[in-house]
Structure 1
Amino acid sequence: MTAFGVLFDLDGVLVDSASLHLRAYEQVFESAGLAFSDAAKDAVRRGKSRAEVLNLALPMAERGLKEKLAEAKPHALRAVLQEHADCSMPGAVETVRALDRAGIPMAVVTNSRTPEIWLEKLGISQRIRVVVTGSDVSSPKPSAEGYLLGAKRLGLLPADCLAIEDSCDGWTAARTAGMQVAVVAKERPVWMDADTQLMPRLDSATILGLAMGQSGRSPVGG
């Protein structure tokens, strides 16, 4: 039987993070006496990498300043998270727990460089076998590099993986990697193709049905 795995995006799929990331960036910039531009705010909302956000916020700044701000961001984010009891997306924690019980190997593939902050907050870090961060790849999404690395670390072929995404960049990355993709959204985005499953919220039964859609498949742990 062919094994399969599920690879999750982080921001907007497992965690409702955009507003918290934005608050953390604003605190870091305010502490440094700097303005956080509208273009940078929009990049945060679209889930862009820290390097991309800082380049938009400070296009002419020296590298040393950007590195200093980048180092301060995770500390600010941890402080912001302490003020929020629940940052999970609807159904996220329940879905990860259900897939873990079913023996499904899971990975998180994200442009974020500090996903452990969120996974620890959700209490699911021990259930995720593989985590691929922005630090692990040379090119962030929409490059397929992260998803290809995630499949490799799970010991699976991309064709035997289901990626769960919420953005055009993430969807493009997973499709380019050769994976089946499901998108979490209330309405079908214009960039989705007919082969992509739309999910209003994360649901383990739907994910299991998609992953086992081809006869003869079974989870690695099954």
Structure 2
Amino acid sequence: MTTSAVLFDMDGVLVDSASLHVRAYEQVFRDAGIEFSMAARDAVHEGKSRSEVIGIAVPEASAAIGQALFDAKPNAVAKLLRTARDVSMPGATRIVRALAERGVAMGVVTNSVAPEIWLAVAEVLDLMDVVVTGNDVSTPKPSPEGYLLAAERLGVDPAACIVFEDSLDGCLAASRAGMRVAVLAATRPAWADGSFEVVPTLDSPGALALCLPAAARDFS
């Protein structure tokens, strides 16, 4: 089936955000006098939502403390982003621009509730046709809800979409939506079965070839 749309996860796919997210959480938790656990750090790198990360970090916290941490996180990220330089993953801006030049519909599906500032810093926000955030769905990845919503907003068949992801939850979400999935990884992760394609970076010819086979030769 011809590809009608290309969808991207944000964290770890379009933007290299995990380390900055961890720094923001550490600042918020330090200000609250609470340790930010290693398990919570791992959850950030796995692409878990803000509420999930906080729940892992402080499972016994009161609702008020949890909400205060939740509310403080975006401001901490924004402060760090103001001094950040290039936050884009290798090849991200290049492939997005290449697809835009060829008229391919694109979107971002992320558990993040405030992705626009990241996408703007990475210089890809204006090239996206849809952005589905954690605020748009009732259940985060691995639920397919976000990807199905993106296909609906684009007016395309989910089966005609290809998705670039980097986490198990994200790949499961896209697969459950009936979409073709490409994992961004140097080598095939242990959890990635044969139904998932694997590409090392977005600036590899293989990444564009998955979207537009005829255009791959121009991307080397």
The list of structure 1 runs, each at least 4 consecutive aligned residues, that deviate by more than 6 angstroms after superposition, is none
Sort the Cα spacing of 1:75 and 1:49 in 2 relative to 1 into closer, same or farther, 3 A.
same
- Report if the CA contact (8 A) 2:165-2:183 is conserved: yes
Residue 64 of structure 2 corresponds to residue 87 of structure 1: no
Q: What's the CA shift string for 1:130-184, capped at 9, x where partnerless?
A: 1111111111111111111111111111101000011111111111110011111
For residue 207 of structure 1, report the CA deviation from its aligned partner: 4.0
Sort the Cα spacing of 1:51 and 1:207 in 2 relative to 1 into closer, same or farther, 3 A.
same
Q: Of the two structures, which has the highest relative contact order with CA contacts closer than 8 Å and spacing of 6 or more?
A: 1
Find the residue that maps to 1:201 and give its secondary structure.
Answer: coil
CA RMSD of aligned residues (A): 1.8
Code of the aligned partner of 1:182: A
Sort the Cα spacing of 1:31 and 1:156 in 2 relative to 1 into closer, same or farther, 3 A.
same
Q: How does 1:109-188 map to 2 (within 5 A)?
A: 109-188=109-188
Distance (whole Å) between structure 2 residues aligned to residue 68 and residue 153 of structure 1: 33
For residue 94 of structure 1, report the CA deviation from its aligned partner: 0.9
Code of the aligned partner of 1:59: P
Sort the Cα spacing of 1:76 and 1:189 in 2 relative to 1 into closer, same or farther, 3 A.
same
Distance (whole Å) between structure 2 residues aligned to residue 142 and residue 210 of structure 1: 23
- Report if the CA contact (8 A) 2:90-2:203 is conserved: no
For residue 205 of structure 1, report the CA deviation from its aligned partner: 4.8
Distance (whole Å) between structure 2 residues aligned to residue 34 and residue 56 of structure 1: 13
What percentage of residue pairs aligned between the two structures are identical?
55
For residue 212 of structure 1, report the CA deviation from its aligned partner: 4.5
Q: Which moved more, 1:187-196 or 1:72-81?
A: 187-196
- Report if the CA contact (8 A) 1:98-1:204 is conserved: no
Q: Which moved more, 1:54-63 or 1:197-206?
A: 197-206
TM-score normalised to structure 2 length: 0.91
Q: Which residue of structure 2 lines up, in the alignment, with residue 9 of structure 1?
A: 9
- Report if the CA contact (8 A) 1:3-1:156 is conserved: no
Find the residue that maps to 2:42 and give its secondary structure.
Answer: helix
Aligned positions, number: 214
Distance (whole Å) between structure 1 residues aligned to residue 16 and residue 117 of structure 2: 13
